[in-house]
Structure 1
Amino acid sequence: MAMTQAKRPREDDVLECYLYPRFCYSLTADQVTEGMLKDEIDKFQKDVEPFIKDYLWHRDNLSFKPRTKQALQFDSVIEGSSRATDFELLPHIHVLLRFDEDIGDEWFVVFLIINLTKKYEGLIARMVDSDGEFLLIEAADVLPVWATPETCHERVFIMNGAVHVVQDKQKICINILNSVYQRSHIFKMSDKVQATIQKRISIYPEETERRKHKARAYLPEKAAYMLRREPRLIASAVRTVGHSDPLERKVCRAMRYFPPEQRVMANVKMTKCLYAMAVHCRYTGDPRTGWNLPPSNSPKYNAYLLGIKIACGLEMLVARAHEEERKCRDRQSSGDSSCVNEEAWTAFFRRLDASGYFRELLEGSKEKEELLVKAKSYYERHLAQANKRVETNEGKRLIEIYRDIQSNDMEMEAEEVCTLSPEDSDSWLNVDPAQLEAMLGQQFGISGKESENPLGLQDKVKAFINQKSGIEGVQFLGDKEENDEKVDVEDNGRIDFDPDVFDTALRDILDLVVPGGDGEFDGSSEGSLGGDDEDQGGEMDKYMRLLDSQLQQQLISDSNSREKQQVPNSEEVEANLLGSIQEEAGGSGPLGNILGGPVERLKHLKQNLLDVPLKESKD
């Protein structure tokens, strides 16, 4: 389905959003045009612009992409999917965000998308990441029993700012979306689930200011100017130097683009996540380059070291951009004016041909040429996603800024050094145990009263152990949600499992076959048979009572006979038995294995069988 386009394994730290305006599931797929989707995108961008204007993204910017039926057909070919049908190719607006180490970007986008669904009537959104339905994972503690990973897979939607889970066994995407729109009250999750999600995003938009950090760095003049001109380059520079390997760092030996000879002190704005990455990066520059560092106890040491790391990151970015530019010029000189990777295009063309896109049209025919032009046009426009042109576009922008550096700008940068504002404290990097405990408590909902009362956990464990378990595990009565009463309309003939009845039946069966119990032959056999007044007339019950009576008489007769025969020889029997036990010396032996107990048990056993008092043994 369109909402599950990624048939391939989803990359780690990637958020995908699928936005379905009302016309996407009220019209046919062929009626939805790219222009209609772009009009909606323009509205969305105007709404989110105030929030993202000064926002510093960790890796990708928020970008809305239209996906028509034709575009989805090409995507299915690119992804190698053979299950694309007219019903699965439902047009929508797509968002792909790589947030890498900063999960704050993911939840910020969730906040923006939920706000959009509140504003636009009929807008339905679906959001997934590498963990799957991460919204339900966030609300796992308050989900109803029926909300399992299997039942909720590809069934979680956002509409009017609320989470909905479709339990209907619909298979067609357009039917699912219409069900959510028309029967919202049925599929809407409980208030507890909604409150959990809202609590998670309630920190926005204020959190966008709290996540910022202003640090001081001793940078080459060109690097300082570029960061002032394009503040978002700091994210690419820090991530590049943090993820680089020794082979990539070779370009930092010469520092061709950002030489260390002329440096200035500058304030650099970044996120706390980026600052933590930069601080904990062990790379300190190549010692042959000429970086000079003050002593480690100097107050300027951190600024000098941070400047080296940022400058090296920019150096690798610019060197990479120049290399891509050189390769593009080489392809253009060979006659490829579009600068398209011919090898990648050939592979794409072959997949199109194998999928039947050209409908076995004759080579050189007008219809096939039109399809070929559409395919190449789409390939070129979407090359950014297919062949990582995002980095290439960023590289072009980087080169443009670098070439735009003028001498008067350098002088202006030097004059502003005297007016630097104080840097922010980085004490938040150090977390003591008490702060960690408070953070964990806030994150996982552990209240202060529960942490002060250690018996609370013990009581919960005891309650858990004493609770009877169903076939799917223990379920506390207090944890059941109102949504537990929801039943799938198609689950007719469902088998109900009663654990109490099952337990009673099992005990009745075991009582019939386990011998040796205390009082096994005492009284009536009603207890072991689990019978009641209604079963007294049963044939089995009559037979068992008769058998019980006969056994009682036989035991009494045998006991009287044995008492008459063995009373005179009781001392001799006792001596023989005690002698055997002493010879075995507590180890395994015939008598010990038979009796399975000490002398006291022997006395008790003989006293019951023979009803003859025994003399106390000195041993």
Structure 2
Amino acid sequence: MDRPPQDDFKCFGEGFNGFPKRLPEDCVEYVVYIVDSKLNSETQVRSRLKEFQSAAIALSKKLLKDYIWQRESFALEVQREDAMPVLRGRTNFGDSVADEWLIVYLLRELSKEFSDAWIRVYDTDGEFLLIEAANALPRWLNPEIAENRVWLHSGQLRVTPLQQPPTPAVKTVPVSRSLSVKEAISFISSSSSNLIHSPIIEEEAFYRLNSDPAQISETFHSALITIPRKLAFILHANPAYISAAVEAFYLRDPIALRPLQSNKPEDLKFPPTDLVTTSVKFTKVGYAQLKSQRFESPAVWTNSMLNSGIEKVLNCAEIGMKVSCGFEMLVADPHNQDKRAVREIKLLLEDVESGEEKLPSDDEISEWARKEDDESWLDIDFADFENELAGKKGGDASRSAASFGDKAAQQNLRKMVERFENFLNDDAAGAEGVEDLDEMDYDDEEDEEDDDSDASTESEDRDVSFDEAEFAKMMREMMGMPPEEAEDAGAAATGKDVARVEEIDSTDEEVDGGDEIRKVMQRMEDELNEAGALNLDPAPRKVAAVKGTATQEERNADLDSEDESDNEDEDVDIDLNLARNLLESLKGQAGMTGPAGKMLSAMGLRFPRDEGEGDT
């Protein structure tokens, strides 16, 4: 019997014909290829990959002792892809972006040891190293063609160029599209020296790694919490269990809360009995998740909570209650039964119940480390935040130790402000920067229907074309500008734009179209005047009294002889209107940061925070 034909369908995780492979959210994937012409057999390549894998394990043990991953750890497995062995790994980092960049650091360090290793690393957003270095990228390197072009090699960031290496038979031609893995590896094998290595791009892409490995320990927070003795024993056996419990608590739903609804302590795996206070290490992300969520204690915990008026004792009890509930939901959820952490926790509980393991005594617990870190990194002070945005201009150096956030937050914030200011100061963009599109604004994918529709598109564009100078003239007339001033202003303001206007024939239809536009603009002017939108005066002509200029009636009586005074009064109206708009913008910020406050701050003006309507 003949076998039915295959439909080439694959699950969404692997992709199928017509649909590209997509990573799950919050995942980073990394692949290691060995490219060495001296390795003639697949066995030799596989052996080299095994050496790389062993080096990765050794480096992890050296740098990541007692490290707590948010969800999944860094791991590499040998796989066979496209008829060649590779090392591949995938890590779900959850909300901890620090885990993702730690993996990049590990891979970069490993690439320094293996000169024949070429490493790709990407996440749900694609080539995130290029995203990090977006301001330093050349125009041709856009997201549409970046796939499989970015590599880690010998501690450097390498980019495959558009040009293919020349051969005697084939001339060099640009490849303005994404490369397949085979094409990329083939390019590396034949012409690895032609890959681009830009120190500027590399500096931007690896900016977050500048403080590694010293900053690895700064991603944790230790706190004293009050928990059941049984749970203290489990966390002492493996502190990494805390991440799974925090996530179970943070992502809980009504079904997950069912085990906590019992009023009998014996129904719980971690009942609120025999409580002890001990130090537990969290990731900073996990600790912030616990602290940020309000959670009513279950009935079985309500009577067991310590009734103390001391804030520190209450905080230990509250965090301990949340951690205990997280572990309770973790081990009770049927969907978690296959997780390694859950299996190990259940084995430890079974050993305690059978008597194979004994719970620690109070004396033993007192010998454990009782580290408690400062929680000030959780607080955001408005003044410190403003100082960071301003780059601590004129700030007190003695305050640097107690500045906004932790060191990583300070560096990221300064980098963000620096890039934004560079963008604003980019003179190359110009006022018409939106029109100066580069390659990133166009889709490089070929469309078979484009050629067929060119003629019709040009016809449609010509139909909707209009004389920009004529339109600008009508707008000036609508605003009430005198003809002489309109001609001067038009020559100065629209000279550059008119040069780009498409030349069209002056026909009777266009004249009729101009008349129609005038009618429409006249109706718009009437409606705007009726609504008062074109009145720039903030109040009746009281401004004249401020400057001592003539009144409206006097100017109407002798307009020709009062041109200078009229212009002076007009300037006052515009300035006063501008001041009113600035003040209204500041009021709309409600004392927070905003465009008006930032602009005035750059000019050296400081305004107090908004204190409400009653105080203004």
Please give the range of the TM-score, normalised by the shorter of the 2 chains: 0.5 to 0.7
Q: 2:378 aligns with which of 429, 439, 451?
A: 429
Q: 2:130 aligns with which of 131, 136, 158?
A: 136
Q: Residues 284-295 of structure 1 correspond to what in structure 2 (within 5 A)?
A: 284-289=296-301, 290-294=303-307
Q: Shift in Å at residue 411 of structure 1?
A: 4.2
Q: Shift in Å at residue 8 of structure 1?
A: 3.5
Q: 2:291 aligns with which of 256, 279, 287?
A: 279
Aligned partners of 2:241 and 2:341 also within 8 Å: no
Q: Which range moves more in the overlay, 267-276 or 460-469?
A: 460-469
Map Cα deviations across residues 163-183 of structure 1 (whole Å, 9 max, x no partner): 222224385534422423553
Map Cα deviations across residues 297-343 of structure 1 (whole Å, 9 max, x no partner): 6320110011111111112223347x977xxxxxxxxxxxxxxxxxx
Map Cα deviations across residues 409-445 of structure 1 (whole Å, 9 max, x no partner): 4243554237763511111100113443527773265
Which entry has the higher C-alpha Rg, 1 or 2? 1
Residue identity over aligned pairs, in percent, reads 23
1:32 & 1:120 partners in 2: Cα distance?
Answer: 15
2:371 & 2:181 partners in 1: Cα distance?
Answer: 55
Partner residue in 2 for 1:215: 223
Aligned partners of 2:148 and 2:180 also within 8 Å: no
Partner residue in 2 for 1:251: 259
Aligned partners of 2:297 and 2:321 also within 8 Å: yes
Partner residue in 1 for 2:239: 231
Aligned partners of 1:25 and 1:90 also within 8 Å: no
Q: Residues 405-444 of structure 1 correspond to what in structure 2 (within 5 A)?
A: 405=352, 406=355, 409-413=358-362, 415-417=364-366, 421-437=370-386, 438=388, 442-443=411-412
Structure 1 residue 460 and structure 2 residue 407: aligned? no
Q: Secondary structure at the match of 2:90?
A: strand
Shift in alpha-carbon separation, 1:512–1:214, aligned structure 2, 3 A:
closer
Aligned partners of 1:320 and 1:395 also within 8 Å: no
Q: 2:313 aligns with which of 296, 300, 311?
A: 300
1:114 & 1:187 partners in 2: Cα distance?
Answer: 17
Map Cα deviations across residues 41-74 of structure 1 (whole Å, 9 max, x no partner): 12321233201222111111111111024xxxxx
Structure 1 residue 17 and structure 2 residue 25: aligned? no
Q: 2:437 aligns with which of 472, 488, 492?
A: 472
Q: Secondary structure at the match of 1:431?
A: coil
- Gap runs ≥5 in structure 2: 1-12, 165-174, 389-403, 441-465, 475-482, 485-524, 528-555, 557-616
Partner residue in 1 for 2:599: none
2:439 & 2:383 partners in 1: Cα distance?
Answer: 33
Q: Secondary structure at the match of 2:311?
A: coil
Q: 2:103 aligns with which of 84, 109, 127?
A: 109
Partner residue in 2 for 1:54: 66
Structure 1 residue 403 and structure 2 residue 415: aligned? no
Shift in alpha-carbon separation, 1:151–1:259, aligned structure 2, 3 A:
same
Partner residue in 1 for 2:533: none
Q: Secondary structure at the match of 1:124?
A: strand
1:161 & 1:513 partners in 2: Cα distance?
Answer: 60
Aligned partners of 1:16 and 1:94 also within 8 Å: yes
Q: Shift in Å at residue 215 of structure 1?
A: 0.3
Q: 1:45 aligns with which of 48, 54, 57?
A: 57
Structure 1 residue 8 and structure 2 residue 8: aligned? no
1:510 & 1:66 partners in 2: Cα distance?
Answer: 65
Shift in alpha-carbon separation, 1:429–1:35, aligned structure 2, 3 A:
same
Aligned partners of 1:284 and 1:309 also within 8 Å: no
Q: 1:66 aligns with which of 72, 75, 78?
A: 78
Shift in alpha-carbon separation, 1:57–1:281, aligned structure 2, 3 A:
same
Shift in alpha-carbon separation, 1:434–1:196, aligned structure 2, 3 A:
farther
2:211 & 2:423 partners in 1: Cα distance?
Answer: 34
1:411 & 1:425 partners in 2: Cα distance?
Answer: 27
Shift in alpha-carbon separation, 1:171–1:156, aligned structure 2, 3 A:
closer
Shift in alpha-carbon separation, 1:205–1:213, aligned structure 2, 3 A:
same
Partner residue in 1 for 2:199: 191
The Cα RMSD (Å) is 4.1
1:67 & 1:127 partners in 2: Cα distance?
Answer: 16
Q: Shift in Å at residue 13 of structure 1?
A: 0.6
Q: Secondary structure at the match of 2:52?
A: helix
Shift in alpha-carbon separation, 1:216–1:123, aligned structure 2, 3 A:
same
Aligned partners of 1:213 and 1:424 also within 8 Å: yes
Q: Shift in Å at residue 270 of structure 1?
A: 1.4
Q: Secondary structure at the match of 1:302?
A: helix
1:324 & 1:449 partners in 2: Cα distance?
Answer: 44
Map Cα deviations across residues 580-618 of structure 1 (whole Å, 9 max, x no partner): xxxxxx999xxxxxxxxxxx9xxxxxxxxxxxxxxxxxx
Q: Secondary structure at the match of 2:248?
A: helix
Shift in alpha-carbon separation, 1:22–1:154, aligned structure 2, 3 A:
closer
1:512 & 1:318 partners in 2: Cα distance?
Answer: 73
Partner residue in 1 for 2:566: none
Map Cα deviations across residues 96-125 of structure 1 (whole Å, 9 max, x no partner): 100001100000000000111111011000
Map Cα deviations across residues 14-43 of structure 1 (whole Å, 9 max, x no partner): 000011123599657x66786664343123
Aligned partners of 2:139 and 2:438 also within 8 Å: no
Aligned partners of 1:15 and 1:96 also within 8 Å: yes
Aligned partners of 1:16 and 1:95 also within 8 Å: yes
Q: Secondary structure at the match of 1:66?
A: strand
Aligned partners of 2:14 and 2:22 also within 8 Å: no
Higher relative contact order (CA 8 A, sep 6+): 1
Alignment TM-score, normalising by the size of structure 2: 0.57
Partner residue in 2 for 1:242: 250
- Whichever structure has more helix as a proportion of its residues is 1
Aligned partners of 1:265 and 1:417 also within 8 Å: no
Shift in alpha-carbon separation, 1:148–1:251, aligned structure 2, 3 A:
same
Structure 1 residue 270 and structure 2 residue 282: aligned? yes
Shift in alpha-carbon separation, 1:152–1:106, aligned structure 2, 3 A:
same
Partner residue in 2 for 1:394: 341
* Residue identity matched to 1:309: K
Aligned partners of 1:25 and 1:177 also within 8 Å: no
Shift in alpha-carbon separation, 1:433–1:291, aligned structure 2, 3 A:
same
- Gap runs ≥5 in structure 1: 70-87, 326-388, 476-508, 520-585, 589-599, 601-619
Q: Which range moves more in the overlay, 244-253 or 434-443?
A: 434-443
Alignment TM-score, normalising by the size of structure 1: 0.57
Q: Shift in Å at residue 407 of structure 1?
A: 8.7
Shift in alpha-carbon separation, 1:418–1:176, aligned structure 2, 3 A:
closer
